[in-house]
Amino acid sequence: MAQTTASLMIVPEVWGDMAQAQFTGKVRVGGSSAVIEDGTLEGQPGDTIHFPKWGALGELDDLTETTAMVPTAMATDDATATIKEVGKAVEITDKARLTSLGDPEGEARRQFGVLAARRVDADLIAQAQADETAQGGSTPLAFTTAAGKLKFTWLDAMVPAIGQFGDEWEPSDFAGLYLNSAQLGEAMADPQFIDASKLGSGETAAVSGSIGRIGGVSVFITNRVTAGKFLLMKTGALGLLYKRRPLVESDRDILARSTVVTTTMHYAVKRLDDKAVCVGTLATA
Protein backbone atom coordinates (compact mmCIF):
# COMPACT_ATOMS: atom_id res chain seq x y z
CA MET A 1 0.00 0.00 0.00
CA ALA A 2 1.38 3.40 -1.03
CA GLN A 3 2.06 5.81 1.83
CA THR A 4 1.87 9.58 1.85
CA THR A 5 5.02 10.76 3.57
CA ALA A 6 5.78 14.09 5.20
CA SER A 7 8.30 14.85 2.43
CA LEU A 8 5.39 15.17 -0.01
CA MET A 9 3.38 17.55 2.17
CA ILE A 10 3.74 21.30 2.56
CA VAL A 11 3.44 22.29 6.20
CA PRO A 12 2.97 26.09 6.39
CA GLU A 13 4.28 26.29 9.97
CA VAL A 14 7.53 24.56 8.99
CA TRP A 15 7.85 26.69 5.89
CA GLY A 16 7.26 29.79 7.99
CA ASP A 17 9.97 28.83 10.49
CA MET A 18 12.47 28.10 7.73
CA ALA A 19 11.65 31.30 5.84
CA GLN A 20 12.02 33.25 9.09
CA ALA A 21 15.42 31.65 9.71
CA GLN A 22 16.59 32.68 6.24
CA PHE A 23 15.13 36.15 6.79
CA THR A 24 16.98 36.60 10.08
CA GLY A 25 20.23 35.42 8.56
CA LYS A 26 20.10 37.75 5.56
CA VAL A 27 19.08 41.12 7.00
CA ARG A 28 21.92 43.61 7.35
CA VAL A 29 20.30 46.87 8.43
CA GLY A 30 17.20 45.26 9.93
CA GLY A 31 19.28 42.88 12.00
CA SER A 32 21.64 45.53 13.36
CA SER A 33 21.42 47.77 16.40
CA ALA A 34 20.59 50.70 14.10
CA VAL A 35 17.01 49.43 14.18
CA ILE A 36 14.56 49.24 17.04
CA GLU A 37 12.24 46.33 16.27
CA ASP A 38 8.73 46.20 17.72
CA GLY A 39 5.93 43.67 17.29
CA THR A 40 3.42 45.12 19.76
CA LEU A 41 1.07 46.17 16.94
CA GLU A 42 0.59 42.60 15.77
CA GLY A 43 -3.11 41.82 15.82
CA GLN A 44 -4.12 45.43 16.47
CA PRO A 45 -6.46 47.32 14.09
CA GLY A 46 -5.44 50.28 11.92
CA ASP A 47 -3.04 50.92 9.04
CA THR A 48 -1.20 54.02 10.29
CA ILE A 49 1.49 54.06 12.98
CA HIS A 50 2.33 57.14 15.04
CA PHE A 51 5.95 57.51 16.10
CA PRO A 52 6.63 60.01 18.91
CA LYS A 53 9.96 61.80 18.52
CA TRP A 54 11.31 63.37 21.70
CA GLY A 55 12.84 66.81 21.37
CA ALA A 56 16.20 67.51 23.00
CA LEU A 57 16.32 69.45 26.27
CA GLY A 58 18.54 72.53 26.44
CA GLU A 59 21.74 72.78 28.45
CA LEU A 60 21.61 72.72 32.26
CA ASP A 61 20.65 76.03 33.89
CA ASP A 62 22.84 78.00 36.25
CA LEU A 63 21.28 77.91 39.72
CA THR A 64 21.28 80.43 42.52
CA GLU A 65 20.96 79.35 46.12
CA THR A 66 17.38 79.58 47.50
CA THR A 67 16.03 80.24 43.97
CA ALA A 68 13.59 77.60 42.81
CA MET A 69 14.23 75.87 39.49
CA VAL A 70 11.71 76.43 36.69
CA PRO A 71 10.56 73.18 35.05
CA THR A 72 11.06 72.86 31.29
CA ALA A 73 8.40 71.20 29.17
CA MET A 74 9.54 68.15 27.24
CA ALA A 75 8.70 68.51 23.56
CA THR A 76 7.66 65.77 21.21
CA ASP A 77 6.85 65.61 17.51
CA ASP A 78 4.41 63.12 16.05
CA ALA A 79 5.51 61.42 12.85
CA THR A 80 3.46 58.81 11.01
CA ALA A 81 4.09 55.81 8.77
CA THR A 82 1.67 53.66 6.80
CA ILE A 83 1.76 49.89 7.17
CA LYS A 84 2.59 48.12 3.92
CA GLU A 85 1.91 44.58 2.78
CA VAL A 86 4.42 42.68 0.65
CA GLY A 87 4.45 39.09 -0.53
CA LYS A 88 5.29 36.47 -3.12
CA ALA A 89 3.60 33.31 -4.41
CA VAL A 90 4.87 30.17 -6.12
CA GLU A 91 3.03 27.21 -7.60
CA ILE A 92 4.62 23.77 -7.39
CA THR A 93 3.17 21.03 -9.57
CA ASP A 94 2.99 17.44 -8.39
CA LYS A 95 5.23 16.39 -11.27
CA ALA A 96 7.90 18.93 -10.29
CA ARG A 97 7.88 17.67 -6.72
CA LEU A 98 8.04 14.02 -7.70
CA THR A 99 10.52 14.12 -10.59
CA SER A 100 12.71 17.14 -9.96
CA LEU A 101 16.39 16.47 -9.30
CA GLY A 102 16.49 19.50 -7.03
CA ASP A 103 14.27 20.53 -4.15
CA PRO A 104 11.73 23.12 -5.39
CA GLU A 105 10.11 23.41 -1.96
CA GLY A 106 13.40 23.96 -0.17
CA GLU A 107 14.46 26.53 -2.74
CA ALA A 108 11.14 28.36 -2.40
CA ARG A 109 11.53 28.47 1.40
CA ARG A 110 15.05 29.82 1.06
CA GLN A 111 14.07 32.49 -1.43
CA PHE A 112 11.04 33.55 0.62
CA GLY A 113 13.35 34.40 3.51
CA VAL A 114 15.98 36.10 1.36
CA LEU A 115 13.43 38.22 -0.49
CA ALA A 116 11.76 39.31 2.75
CA ALA A 117 15.13 40.32 4.23
CA ARG A 118 16.10 42.26 1.12
CA ARG A 119 12.78 44.08 1.03
CA VAL A 120 12.89 45.12 4.69
CA ASP A 121 16.50 46.25 4.37
CA ALA A 122 15.69 48.20 1.19
CA ASP A 123 12.79 49.99 2.88
CA LEU A 124 14.83 50.79 5.99
CA ILE A 125 17.67 52.17 3.87
CA ALA A 126 15.26 54.25 1.78
CA GLN A 127 13.59 55.59 4.93
CA ALA A 128 16.95 56.44 6.49
CA GLN A 129 17.55 58.83 3.57
CA ALA A 130 14.00 60.11 3.11
CA ASP A 131 12.74 63.65 3.46
CA GLU A 132 10.05 63.17 6.12
CA THR A 133 8.97 66.81 6.30
CA ALA A 134 5.50 66.01 4.96
CA GLN A 135 5.06 63.31 7.64
CA GLY A 136 6.02 65.57 10.54
CA GLY A 137 9.73 64.83 10.48
CA SER A 138 12.75 66.38 8.84
CA THR A 139 15.79 65.33 6.80
CA PRO A 140 18.83 63.30 7.85
CA LEU A 141 22.36 64.65 8.11
CA ALA A 142 24.04 64.58 4.70
CA PHE A 143 27.16 65.64 2.83
CA THR A 144 29.07 65.07 -0.41
CA THR A 145 32.80 64.46 -0.50
CA ALA A 146 35.08 67.10 -1.97
CA ALA A 147 35.45 67.30 -5.75
CA GLY A 148 37.61 64.54 -7.12
CA LYS A 149 37.26 62.35 -4.02
CA LEU A 150 35.59 59.45 -5.79
CA LYS A 151 36.56 56.62 -3.45
CA PHE A 152 35.54 55.70 0.04
CA THR A 153 38.44 56.36 2.40
CA TRP A 154 38.80 57.20 6.06
CA LEU A 155 40.09 60.74 5.44
CA ASP A 156 37.89 61.73 2.49
CA ALA A 157 34.58 60.10 3.47
CA MET A 158 34.48 58.74 7.01
CA VAL A 159 36.04 61.75 8.75
CA PRO A 160 33.65 64.28 7.13
CA ALA A 161 30.73 61.99 7.99
CA ILE A 162 31.82 61.90 11.63
CA GLY A 163 32.03 65.68 11.54
CA GLN A 164 28.31 65.92 10.75
CA PHE A 165 27.55 64.67 14.26
CA GLY A 166 29.41 67.53 15.93
CA ASP A 167 30.62 66.75 19.43
CA GLU A 168 28.48 63.62 19.70
CA TRP A 169 31.09 61.29 18.20
CA GLU A 170 31.57 58.15 20.24
CA PRO A 171 32.18 54.96 18.22
CA SER A 172 30.25 52.81 20.71
CA ASP A 173 27.11 54.90 20.04
CA PHE A 174 27.10 53.91 16.37
CA ALA A 175 25.42 50.82 14.97
CA GLY A 176 27.40 50.70 11.79
CA LEU A 177 28.65 51.99 8.48
CA TYR A 178 26.67 50.61 5.51
CA LEU A 179 28.36 50.43 2.10
CA ASN A 180 27.56 49.14 -1.37
CA SER A 181 29.80 46.29 -2.54
CA ALA A 182 31.30 48.70 -5.09
CA GLN A 183 33.06 50.36 -2.14
CA LEU A 184 34.07 47.09 -0.47
CA GLY A 185 37.59 47.00 -1.88
CA GLU A 186 38.12 50.68 -1.15
CA ALA A 187 37.15 50.29 2.50
CA MET A 188 39.21 47.14 3.02
CA ALA A 189 42.29 48.77 1.48
CA ASP A 190 42.15 51.70 3.90
CA PRO A 191 44.76 51.57 6.69
CA GLN A 192 42.07 52.30 9.27
CA PHE A 193 40.07 49.18 8.36
CA ILE A 194 40.40 46.09 10.57
CA ASP A 195 39.21 42.82 9.03
CA ALA A 196 36.66 40.81 11.02
CA SER A 197 39.04 37.83 11.14
CA LYS A 198 41.54 39.93 13.11
CA LEU A 199 39.12 41.16 15.78
CA GLY A 200 39.40 38.14 18.05
CA SER A 201 36.54 36.90 20.20
CA GLY A 202 34.38 38.00 23.09
CA GLU A 203 33.67 41.72 23.40
CA THR A 204 36.22 42.55 20.70
CA ALA A 205 34.69 40.16 18.14
CA ALA A 206 33.10 41.44 14.94
CA VAL A 207 29.36 42.07 15.01
CA SER A 208 27.38 39.36 13.22
CA GLY A 209 27.08 40.18 9.52
CA SER A 210 29.84 42.80 9.51
CA ILE A 211 33.09 42.50 7.56
CA GLY A 212 35.15 44.37 10.14
CA ARG A 213 35.53 47.83 11.65
CA ILE A 214 36.77 51.22 10.61
CA GLY A 215 37.37 53.87 13.25
CA GLY A 216 35.80 51.55 15.80
CA VAL A 217 32.52 51.29 13.83
CA SER A 218 31.24 48.00 12.37
CA VAL A 219 31.15 47.88 8.56
CA PHE A 220 28.29 46.17 6.70
CA ILE A 221 28.01 45.52 2.96
CA THR A 222 24.58 45.67 1.32
CA ASN A 223 23.67 46.53 -2.25
CA ARG A 224 20.43 48.02 -1.06
CA VAL A 225 22.64 51.08 -0.47
CA THR A 226 23.26 52.75 -3.84
CA ALA A 227 26.79 52.56 -5.20
CA GLY A 228 28.58 55.81 -4.45
CA LYS A 229 26.60 56.40 -1.26
CA PHE A 230 27.04 55.23 2.32
CA LEU A 231 25.15 55.44 5.60
CA LEU A 232 26.63 56.07 9.03
CA MET A 233 23.96 55.38 11.65
CA LYS A 234 23.68 55.51 15.41
CA THR A 235 22.07 52.79 17.50
CA GLY A 236 18.27 53.09 17.45
CA ALA A 237 18.19 55.45 14.47
CA LEU A 238 15.41 53.54 12.68
CA GLY A 239 12.19 51.81 13.68
CA LEU A 240 10.77 48.57 12.25
CA LEU A 241 7.27 47.77 13.45
CA TYR A 242 5.57 44.55 12.47
CA LYS A 243 1.86 44.24 12.01
CA ARG A 244 2.48 40.63 11.04
CA ARG A 245 5.80 38.90 10.56
CA PRO A 246 6.49 36.68 7.53
CA LEU A 247 3.56 34.28 7.18
CA VAL A 248 3.53 31.25 4.88
CA GLU A 249 0.25 29.75 3.65
CA SER A 250 -0.58 27.05 1.11
CA ASP A 251 -3.60 25.95 -0.92
CA ARG A 252 -4.15 22.83 -3.01
CA ASP A 253 -5.42 23.05 -6.61
CA ILE A 254 -6.69 19.54 -7.29
CA LEU A 255 -7.64 20.28 -10.91
CA ALA A 256 -4.19 21.60 -11.79
CA ARG A 257 -2.56 19.01 -9.53
CA SER A 258 -0.39 21.62 -7.91
CA THR A 259 0.10 23.47 -4.64
CA VAL A 260 0.23 27.24 -4.37
CA VAL A 261 2.41 28.60 -1.57
CA THR A 262 2.48 32.26 -0.56
CA THR A 263 4.36 34.41 1.90
CA THR A 264 3.15 37.80 3.12
CA MET A 265 4.42 40.35 5.61
CA HIS A 266 2.92 43.55 7.08
CA TYR A 267 5.19 46.19 8.56
CA ALA A 268 6.15 49.86 8.69
CA VAL A 269 9.53 51.59 8.85
CA LYS A 270 10.51 55.01 10.16
CA ARG A 271 13.55 57.13 10.92
CA LEU A 272 13.28 57.74 14.65
CA ASP A 273 16.05 60.31 15.00
CA ASP A 274 16.90 62.68 12.15
CA LYS A 275 20.26 63.48 13.71
CA ALA A 276 21.26 59.82 14.08
CA VAL A 277 21.72 59.16 10.35
CA CYS A 278 24.35 60.63 8.03
CA VAL A 279 23.97 60.03 4.30
CA GLY A 280 27.30 60.34 2.51
CA THR A 281 27.70 60.76 -1.24
CA LEU A 282 31.00 60.20 -3.02
CA ALA A 283 31.71 63.01 -5.47
CA THR A 284 31.19 62.25 -9.15
CA ALA A 285 33.94 62.89 -11.68
Distance CA 201, CA 189 (A): 23
Distance CA 161, CA 233 (A): 10
**CATH architecture, domain 8-54+76-281:** Alpha-Beta Complex (3.90)
Distance CA 103, CA 254 (A): 21
**How does pLDDT run across 68-123, given as a tens digit for each residue?**
777 776 665 666 777 888 888 888 888 877 776 667 777 777 788 788 888 888 99
Shortest CA distance to 239 belongs to which of 50, 74, 104, 97? Answer: 50
DSSP secondary structure of 219-256: EEE-TTSPTTEEEEEETT-EEEEEEEEEEEEEEEETTT
Asked whether the CA dihedral 118, 120, 125, 127 is positive or negative, the reply is positive
**How does pLDDT run across 248-281, given as a tens digit for each residue?**
777 888 898 888 888 888 888 888 888 899 999 9
pTM, whole model, 2 decimals?
0.77
Distance CA 99, CA 93 (A): 10
**How does pLDDT run across 9-26, given as a tens digit for each residue?**
455 555 455 555 555 555
